Amino acid sequence: MERTHEQSQVSIKEAIKKSWQEGDLRLWKRLKAIWLYQKGYPPEDICTAVDVSRRSIFYWLERYKSLGIAGLQEGQHPGRPRGLEDEQLERLAEILDSGPVAYGFSSGIWTCARVGHVIQVEFGVGYHEDHIRKILHQLGFSVQRPTKKLAQADPQWQQRWVRHTYPGLKKTPKRKRGSGISR
């Protein structure tokens, strides 16, 4: 790539200024790297100045060479393809509404691991348990935490235990000795 182009220099400087004013700092960084390269700065100095790898700089140079400033602008970041389609999400919501016992589990509590198992079996898609929470939230489900309560607890015996037995089990603070300073 030619390092000096008068017209190119002017358009890059204008684009640098415009990207800064618009707050597009990613484009600003790319344009700044191109401008520094065209000014004759070595790639190592450019890497330091814009805090990117040498590989990124040469990638941007190639994009600029082939597509101009438009080649440096942000494209879409598609990310990982969606695992479940809308119809599958609706089907999953129906399964969850029917309950875990109806699906074949022994207890009536949905866990992320169980929902993940259902998704894997029904739709052939694997998800990490942390992502399953996001899917459940998207479907309108909320986390329900069961409370721990004894099934055959007698409130009178519980109160008697709290008043008489528990205080004897609690640790009492040890008496403090003198500070160790003598007169």
**Considering the chain, what is the average pLDDT of its residues?**
85
**What integer pLDDT is reported at residue 155 of this predicted model?**
84
**What integer pLDDT is reported at residue 4 of this predicted model?**
45
* Residue 145 binned pLDDT confidence (cut-offs 50, 70, 90): confident
Q: What is the mean pLDDT of residues 109-130?
A: 91
**Which tokens hold the place of 96?**
């969850």
CA 93 to chain centre: 24
CA dist 66 → 49, 56, 70 (Å): 24, 15, 10
**What integer pLDDT is reported at residue 75 of this predicted model?**
75
**Which tokens hold the place of 87?**
């119809």
11 contacts: CB under 8 Å, gap ≥ 6: 69
pLDDT at 129 exceeding the cut of 70: yes
**Domain ranges across the chain:** 6-72, 86-138
Of the ranges 58-67, 71-80, 88-97, 117-126, which one carries the lowest mean pLDDT score? 71-80
pLDDT at 62 exceeding the cut of 50: yes
CA–CA separation, 29 and 19 (whole Å): 9
Q: What is the mean pLDDT of residues 80-95?
A: 90
Q: Could you count the other beta carbons within 10 Å of the beta carbon of residue 129?
A: 11
pLDDT at 177 exceeding the cut of 90: no
Higher-pLDDT residue of 178, 1: 178
**What integer pLDDT is reported at residue 147 of this predicted model?**
73
* Residue 52 binned pLDDT confidence (cut-offs 50, 70, 90): very high
**What integer pLDDT is reported at residue 3 of this predicted model?**
45
**What integer pLDDT is reported at residue 97 of this predicted model?**
92
Q: What is the mean pLDDT of residues 131-156?
A: 82
CA–CA separation, 114 and 55 (whole Å): 44
pLDDT at 7 exceeding the cut of 60: no
